[in-house]
Structure 1
Amino acid sequence: MPDHPRNPRMLTVDDLAGRIRSGEIDTVVVAFTDMQGRLQGKRLHGPFFLDEVLAHGTEGCNYLLAVDVEMNTVPGYAISSWERGYGDMVFALDLDTVRLLPHLPGTAMVQCDLTWLDGSPVRQSPRTVLQQQVARLDELGYRAFAGTELEFLVFEDTYEEAWDAAYRGLTPVNQYNVDYSVLGTTRVEPLLRDIRNTMYAAGLTVESAKGECNYGQHEIAFRFADVVETADNHSVYKNTAKEIAHAHGRSLTFMAKYDQREGNSCHIHLSLRGTDGGTVFWDGVTGSRTALYDHWVAGILATLREFTLLYAPNVNSYKRFAAGSFAPTTVAWGTDNRTCSIRLVGHGGSARLENRLPGGDVNPYLAIAGMIAGGLHGLRERLPLEDELVGNAYDSGKPTVPTTLRAARDLFDGSGIARAAFGDDVVDHYVHAADTELAAFDAAVTDWELRRGFERL
């Protein structure tokens, strides 16, 4: 995975300014990715952005990193509360992320880091969490590259219709398994093509689209990049795909487990290079993995259970972990073995590992940060790599990842490795986010309970 120059379809600041002055662009979306992996921010009028915001950014309430998915203010966060006055944080523009949003007329986007008013980083921000691990890696002379593979389900219903139906009884765009089916994807091609072309124009390098197993399930793949760039692109793509589906009168979901059939995965491929661009995972002389590669994979395996919260952040995430489902449950690695949580693929410059644990609901910054922190743990401790698992990991009897959010929360909370890698403040923040989700879920009366208990109990 060589070092890649900036994508030429991204905009320079001068280009953005020229397009605003000519009237081609009148709106600039300034956005960051929140704890739930959503883009949050503001739409700024183009001339105001040039005159007032370009030089110093803009501000937003710090509660944006202390709310649940419903945007309820949640007590118990150290960085944001009624007692602290719910003050502001700065949206610090990353001018390397300027891009067109061609599906929205006259619109560009800039992604942001979050800082406090004194300029210090908001350490709990997902982008900052990843940047911290990138900095640790850089000190050792390495760079990380990643690609994320997001699956989604598409429905004929609009988002408004889906809401009114309580998301039940929706009509998928395919009525049978369309995994690799050309016919099955052709039926959805107007939408898929629009998403692909839009994302290409927005600065992503599109590889392919294919059908998947669940009814109406599809995947669009993009080329790997530097890990922060990949996470940025992932966030923009996920948001844009929903907006384009809406424009087509359809809806789509990335939730990990929508129904009893196959869930939505987000496999993450990751590799290292030296800062000079050299290959470090593969020995060209022996034609085999390097010791560094083995230590790296061993570290990810050693932390897989403790870091599962970063890979599966929601109650629903754990519904996807089912034996024989292509969603992994076993702490094991294998060569091109899709039953294992960690799958090793490629050779030479393409040698990389695939983390098959995350679902489509994952926050890419946090998941990749977890993989780097785990790999660094393996390097630092020079952990030996256990023998690969050959055969069916589901039947291996090896340890499994936690099967509930509560178990994952407890493992992350008690992880000395996590606290050393991310800091107590970051760990406590995301443990509290898990506690918030668990409290909301525990208080909910589900349709499953109503069906079983209303008349018969």
Structure 2
Amino acid sequence: MTNPPAATTAATAGGPLTRDRLGELVQARDITTIMLGVPDLMGRLKGKTFDAPHFLTRLEAGAEMCSYILATDAHMTPLNGFRLTGWHDGYGDLTAVPDLTTTRRLTYLPHTALILADAHHHNGTPIEIAPRQMLRRQIDHLADLGWQPHVGIESEFLLYRGSPHRIHHNGYRTLIPVSPHNLDYALDHPPALTAFLHDLQHALHQADAPVEAIKTEGAPGQIEVTWPHGDPMRACDTYTIHKHAVRAIAARHRMTPTFMAAPETGIGSGLHFHVSLWRENKPAFRMAVGADLPDVLQQSIAGLLDALPEMAPLYAPYPNSYKRYTPHSFAPVNYTWGYDNRTCAIRLAGRREHTRLEIRLAGADANPYLTLAAILAAIFHGITKQPALPHPCAGDAYETSTLPRAVPRTLEDALPDFFEGPLATHAFSPSVVHHYTHTARTEINAHHTQVTDLDRARGFLHA
């Protein structure tokens, strides 16, 4: 990954759509449908599709949507106990306010444009627990100090043969990956996989989300996609559109993707964030060969190591998320940092003006907005509070003898530090912490009451 990104202009085939250009395409009936989407708690797009000419007449007003889209579990089950909305107030509406800078064409859907929206109360104020708003607040905090974060995202997911309906009907058993072997860094993919990757790359380019690179990964059927560094909100918007595109394009190819952190025993998929700070268009992490780390880089690393342990439910939101954290899996098991060291949670990567921090904690199931909000909040904490910086890990962080703080083993283990500790509440607000604590407890309770295949395998004949 490189820093900074290459420019993308509206003149290119994959450039953003201006309001005027959108109007022209609608008038020509080249765009007949406009999707308005709000990222939900899981990072998925929720919203409505509109007849394009009608939507242009209400572009400024946006649309009303039931506020429960920010108060459900992954199955869209309404959850009581949230302060934002619930049965106690009849699940009223929120206002989805279009962010016109996100307007783009989705060529993988017929004659369709997408606009992302921010969730607002009826009085016009942003809803603070909405993922985009949580990230925007942390970007603003760093801007108040004169820092601009640049972010690149590295996504992993697995791709299986068969439709989602078929896989669900089979109880998620006998999963068949699109490639049966380890194809890490391979350039000779099976034809079906080559066709899928070609369609995905083309669709993302046309959607103003051009990739930096695509490669196959170590697990059978595993794919990695990276994007150039750039604006943090745009990076998360791009990733969200990528997930939407992956699912739609895979369905066309009779395939099904999963973004689970640990979809099978021994297999994990990550969501890595490459972050640097800039000031006055200059990279603040720039490091000459043999020189000491710049102060702000040291402070950023220290802040990440000090604060991220108390924010785990934001980047590891499900019980399954924690099954990815296993030794020698390339997922971290403790909060360490090191120079170009992929066994650490924080990897100092790149050289000179490309120096950056790779935060390797989040799994593929993480909400990008919440994860990056936690990362930037931790960096802000490091700059303003300046906790001590531990020594770097020079070898195998899985076997280190320095006894660093361990990554929580379960979501249940992670929750007390998030809910009761001061850092998350200070970085966000009591309301935000309450909202995401309630979400996590719902997931924990759901798993506590389910009888699993492992329960039966270990106990059916032996209890």
**TM-score under structure 2 normalisation?**
0.95
How far does residue 183 in structure 1 lie from its aligned partner after superposition? Answer: 1.8
Mapping of residues 166-315 of structure 1, within 5 Å: 166-184=171-189, 188-274=193-279, 276-282=280-286, 287-315=291-319
8 Å contact from structure 2 (residues 4, 228) kept in 1:
no
Q: Equivalents in 2 of 1:7, 1:408: separation in Å?
A: 43
> 1:29 aligned to 2:35?
yes
Mapping of residues 19-418 of structure 1, within 5 Å: 19-51=25-57, 53-184=58-189, 188-274=193-279, 276-282=280-286, 287-396=291-400, 397-418=403-424
Cα deviation, 1:310-348, whole Å, max 9, x if unaligned, reads 121111100100001111111110000000000001122
How far does residue 453 in structure 1 lie from its aligned partner after superposition? Answer: 2.5
Q: Equivalents in 2 of 1:90, 1:178: separation in Å?
A: 45
Cα deviation, 1:162-213, whole Å, max 9, x if unaligned, reads 1111111021111111111112365511001100110011001212111111
Q: Equivalents in 2 of 1:333, 1:257: separation in Å?
A: 23
8 Å contact from structure 1 (residues 179, 210) kept in 2:
yes
Q: Give the counterpart letter for 1:416 in structure 2.
A: P
How far does residue 263 in structure 1 lie from its aligned partner after superposition? Answer: 0.6
Assess, with a 3 A threshold, how the Cα gap between structure 1 residues 371 and 244 changes in structure 2: closer, same or farther.
same
Cα deviation, 1:340-390, whole Å, max 9, x if unaligned, reads 000001122211100111110010001111111101111111233221111
**Is the deviation greater in 122-131 or in 158-167?**
158-167
Total equivalences in the alignment: 455
The runs of 5 or more residues in structure 1 that have no matched partner are: none
How far does residue 415 in structure 1 lie from its aligned partner after superposition? Answer: 2.0
State the identity %.
36
Assess, with a 3 A threshold, how the Cα gap between structure 1 residues 11 and 288 changes in structure 2: closer, same or farther.
farther
Q: State the secondary structure of the residue aligned to 2:310.
A: coil
Q: Equivalents in 2 of 1:195, 1:50: separation in Å?
A: 29
8 Å contact from structure 1 (residues 412, 427) kept in 2:
yes
8 Å contact from structure 1 (residues 178, 185) kept in 2:
no
Runs of 4+ in 1 over 4 A off after TM superposition: 2-7, 283-288
8 Å contact from structure 2 (residues 260, 365) kept in 1:
yes
Q: Equivalents in 2 of 1:6, 1:137: separation in Å?
A: 25
**Is the deviation greater in 380-389 or in 433-442?**
380-389
Q: Give the counterpart letter for 2:445 in structure 1.
A: A
Aligned to 2:447: 441
Q: Equivalents in 2 of 1:415, 1:3: separation in Å?
A: 37
Q: State the secondary structure of the residue aligned to 2:277.
A: strand
Q: Give the counterpart letter for 2:374 in structure 1.
A: G
Q: State the secondary structure of the residue aligned to 1:225.
A: coil
Cα deviation, 1:411-455, whole Å, max 9, x if unaligned, reads 111121111110110011000100010111111111111222233
Q: State the secondary structure of the residue aligned to 1:40.
A: strand
Q: Give the counterpart letter for 2:257 in structure 1.
A: L
How far does residue 217 in structure 1 lie from its aligned partner after superposition? Answer: 0.8
Assess, with a 3 A threshold, how the Cα gap between structure 1 residues 369 and 7 changes in structure 2: closer, same or farther.
farther
Q: Give the counterpart letter for 1:47 in structure 2.
A: P
Assess, with a 3 A threshold, how the Cα gap between structure 1 residues 69 and 239 changes in structure 2: closer, same or farther.
same
8 Å contact from structure 1 (residues 304, 401) kept in 2:
no
Q: Equivalents in 1 of 2:210, 2:162: separation in Å?
A: 29
How far does residue 409 in structure 1 lie from its aligned partner after superposition? Answer: 1.3
**TM-score under structure 1 normalisation?**
0.97
Cα deviation, 1:63-122, whole Å, max 9, x if unaligned, reads 111111111111110011111121110000000000000011100000011100000110
Q: Give the counterpart letter for 1:408 in structure 2.
A: A
8 Å contact from structure 2 (residues 5, 229) kept in 1:
no
8 Å contact from structure 2 (residues 310, 418) kept in 1:
yes
8 Å contact from structure 2 (residues 34, 114) kept in 1:
yes
Q: Equivalents in 2 of 1:34, 1:346: separation in Å?
A: 33
Q: Give the counterpart letter for 1:99 in structure 2.
A: R
Which of 433, 444, 459 is the aligned partner of 1:453? Answer: 459
Backbone CA RMSD of aligned residues: 1.5
Q: Equivalents in 1 of 2:277, 2:328: separation in Å?
A: 31
8 Å contact from structure 1 (residues 162, 168) kept in 2:
yes
Q: Equivalents in 2 of 1:48, 1:16: separation in Å?
A: 13
**Is the deviation greater in 301-310 or in 24-33?**
301-310
Q: Equivalents in 1 of 2:78, 2:359: separation in Å?
A: 33
